Amino acid sequence: MSPERLVYFFGNGEADGDRGMRDLLGGKGANLAEMTQMRIPVPPGFTISTRVCTHYVQHDGAYPPELTGQVEEALRRMEELVGRRFGDPERPLLVSVRSGAAVSMPGMMDTVLNLGLSDVTAESLARESANEHFAFDAYRRLLQMYGDVVMGVPHDRFERALELTKLNAAVHSDAELGGDRLRALVETYKGLIRDAARRPFPQDPHEQLWGAIGAVFQSWGNRRAVRYRRLHGIPDGLGTAVNVQAMVFGNLGDDSATGVAFTRDPATGERALYGEYLVNAQGEDVVAGIRTPHPIRSQGDGSSLAERMPAAYDELARVCETLERHYRDIQDMEFTVERGRLWTLQTRTGKRTAAAAVRAAVEMVAEGLIDEATAVGRIDPGQLETLLHPSIDEGDRFEVLATGLAASPGAASGKVVLSADEAEELGLAGEQVILVRQETSPEDIHGMAAAQAILTARGGTTSHAAVVARGMGKPCVAGCKEIEVLPDGSGFRVGVVTVAKGEWITLDGSTGRVILGRVATRPAQLKGEFRTLLEWCDRFRRLRVRANADTPHDARQAIEFGAEGIGLCRTEHMFFDENRILQVRRMIFATSESAREDALESLLPLQRGDFEGIFRAMDGRPVTIRLLDPPLHEFLPRETDDLSPVAAGLGMSATALRAAIARLAEANPMLGHRGCRLGITYPEITQMQSRAMAEAACDVIGSGGKVALEIMVPLVGVARELELQAAVIRETVDAVLAERGVALPYAIGTMIELPRACVTADEIAKEAQFFSFGTNDLTQTTFGISRDDSGKFLHIYLEQGIYEADPFAVLDTKGVGALIRLAVERGRAARPDLKVGICGEHGGDPSSVAFCHREGLDYVSCSPFRVPVARLAAAQAALADSSAEARRVLEDRLAAR
């Protein structure tokens, strides 16, 4: 039996592999093989398969016995094609060594160039090329790369030595160093390696090669690579390949160059060759920033590749066109021009902005390169959200002060304020402010509404600050542990830096960055391609998409982004207005039922007006309104606040108010007197809210409008709770409809957010016409952790792989998902027409949307700015489980909606 193939050769138009072998050859190796077969000019080489990496890891660094012979045979074939011999003292073959996993993955071993050079072969290269600078510049690069990534010598030691050499030579660039200076630098580098690694740089090219190969496989298990795999769900068993390729040189003089090219502009998606290059340069010089590169396309100033090397540019343009049409996607290429001849070193799918991804996908459909389903499947849903918010202008210079959790996307600048009242006051005066808090509460809602953005020291991506900010479309950085909010309210501190109240900062809610000062931002641009793509999404998806919206403004914003209804209207958010909270507090402190009813009576017209505005904005689309949910203490001031003004408004002493607040305090309020428990304890609250909904609906219908009302009872864990609340709702609503003579079909359902409700869903469904899973609280109660306090340990759990992802950001399908699945099965068994959706923050997370599609839910609901993300994710989920034939049937069926 022949030995297993471990090495795959490519060169001279023939290759042992192709692009379909990514798992075996890695992305880089598979594409090199594919390009070779396409007759693209690729330097010959070979790829050591990922199976060797797996063997290496499992056998403590040992290689399969047949590997050595296969590597030697591949080297021999390279030598024949290039006309040089590896290690030959006169005409040496030099190679590069690169890692290449199936999935592009930062953290792996960096490239090693010019491998095969030694004291002897460097002299030979200098004589052969008649260019001493080229030969010893190549040698010092090998020493620097190999010493760093293979022998573990810190990179900065080489950099310091290079900078000192340039300083002594009074030059700005290493390209200006003379041969004698480079010879001396080579000796310095060898000394650095010998001192730091306790062994000399190997002069034997074969020893160099096997050292680099081993370093690639070792890098698969380094901390950076492992952490990246954890964050992105990449299996550890995938392994990396090693690519060994004959060197071509872009640093042989003014007729040589190296560069990077994209087949389309990665920032805008424009169909035009895009990229940069450097004359007389090698390797990473273009992206390293040590010299200012020039554009590839003509700029009219004579600096472009098109103008300086027109033949190479024409060949590059032809190669780019060929590769894009072959791969049917934007390609990112590395290339070298060696004495006028173009060589392509690699190609891969080009990373691009969301705007570029959308434009390119839509235009490629028009060009006939891809179909609409492929275009929809190609867009990253998580990236799409960046199109809906302003973004940092990365071309501007700025200083990042701290980094927290990217809780709500977008970027904004403003003056630091430390209280919600001050934020509101300055905001109404036209000032731009950023509200900085230890954490926010519902009482801060007026300040959050007035602020440009919100920064908190505590909390996670589903904390109060994050949820409210996303709903408002405001940037938010939460859980920024580096900041210390000063107790006197004068500002906040990060290390030795103090940012005073009134100073400007900028928040980037898309990355979690906190930046000193004002930074330029770029506005969101929703162009025609964006709307076209979302129209295609709507043709493919089965899952409906609603929005969480609490105001008419939010409702209109949701419709603009394509929401098909409101899945969650949180009525408590309507109570925090300065003109209303006093009446809420009077209701809380009422000592009799009649006093409580009087306070609620004053809130009735206000709440009715809110509902009427939302109904009119939604124009007959379904609106799910949740009864009052949070514990009453959230409507009260803190005991440590100045209580005198509040006490005066309530007609009581500050001492009595403080005592009342203490009496209402709960040890664990999120599991205490809240949700349906409030409505059962104080049915007059449910009566007031039900009446407000019914009267608002009658007013809208009476003026020719349409209403689709769904009333949701929160925190139900026992069927009897829903039965009692539903009776109050029906009695109240039906009485209003009878008084007004209006016909209004309405539904009563519940928010499923307790494990007991999932287990007894069959009993609850006998009373509920719909279920809406409140996945925020269902995750809290399933895991037994607080979303606001989990930031203290969650990062450790993620680093150690205890949790695969933040369960408040990505739905835990094994635990929480299993409960949802159980509730859906049992609920629909008891009531086959039961409508089921989710309204937690997971409603806008792409992987969670895919889960909801698979489990047969009817809709997801998320913040308005995440509606387009959910539409895309729902379409991708539908396409993912459809065969080509089924996809066509699905298109036809959905087109008939």
What's the CA gap between 94 and 440, in Å, rounded?
Answer: 61
Residue 839 annotated as catalytic: yes
CB 708 within 8 Å of CB 622: yes
DSSP secondary structure string, 709-769? EEEEE-S--SHHHHHHHHHHHHHHHHHHHHHHT----EEEEEEE-SHHHHHTHHHHHTT-S
Which DSSP symbol is given to 394? T
| 570 bridge partner residues | 626
CB 853 within 8 A of CB 878: yes
Query: In degrees rounded to 5, what are phi and psi of residue 263?
Result: -75, -20
Torsion of CA 320, 325, 327, 329, to 10 degrees: 80
Q: Among 881, 853, 896, 854, which Cα is nearest to 545's? A: 853
User: Which residues, 6 or more positions from 796, have their beta carbon under 8 angstroms from its beta carbon?
Assistant: 802
Distances (CA, A) of 350 to 265, 283, 364: 10, 19, 15
Please answer whether residues 414 and 434 qualify as being in contact, where contact means their C-beta atoms are separated by less than 8 angstroms: yes
Sheet architecture: strand order including 95-101: 14-15, 7-11, 45-48, 240-246, 95-101, 112-115
CA distance 217 to 212: 9
Enumerate residues 6+ apart whose C-beta is below 8 A from 239: 50, 51, 52, 53, 54, 57, 101, 220
Place of tokens 């006028």: 340
Contact between residue 259 and residue 275 where contact means Cβ atoms under 8 Å apart = yes
Phi, psi of 718 (to 5 degrees): -130, 135
Of residues 552, 550, 564, the one with CA closest to residue 628: 550
Cα 843 to Cα 359, 510, 567, 695: the distances in Å are 26, 18, 10, 30
Residue with tokens 């190296």: 258
Whole-angstrom Cα distance, residue 198 to residue 526? 58
Active-site choice (53, 569, 839, 862): 839
Four-residue CA torsion sign, 576, 580, 582, 586: negative
CB atoms within 10 A of CB 301: 9
Task: Characterize 113-142 residue by residue with b for buried, 16 or more Cβ atoms within 10 angstroms of its Cβ, and e for exposed.
Answer: bbbbbbeebbbbbbeeeebbbbbbbbbbbb
Instruction: Count the alpha carbons within 13 Å of 158 in the hemisphere toward its beta carbon.
Output: 23
Whether 423 contacts 393, CB under 8 Å? no
Q: Which of 55, 294, 464, 842 is catalytic?
A: 464
Q: Whats the size of the chain, residue-wise? A: 897
Q: Give the helix/strand (H/E) hosting 889.
A: helix 884-895
Cα→Cα distances 772→833, 860, 878, Å = 14, 9, 21
Q: CB of 137 within 8 A of CB of 231?
A: no
DSSP-assigned states of every residue in 556-592:
HHHHHTT--SEEEEEGGGGG-STTTHHHHHHHHH-SS
Residues tagged active-site: 464, 839
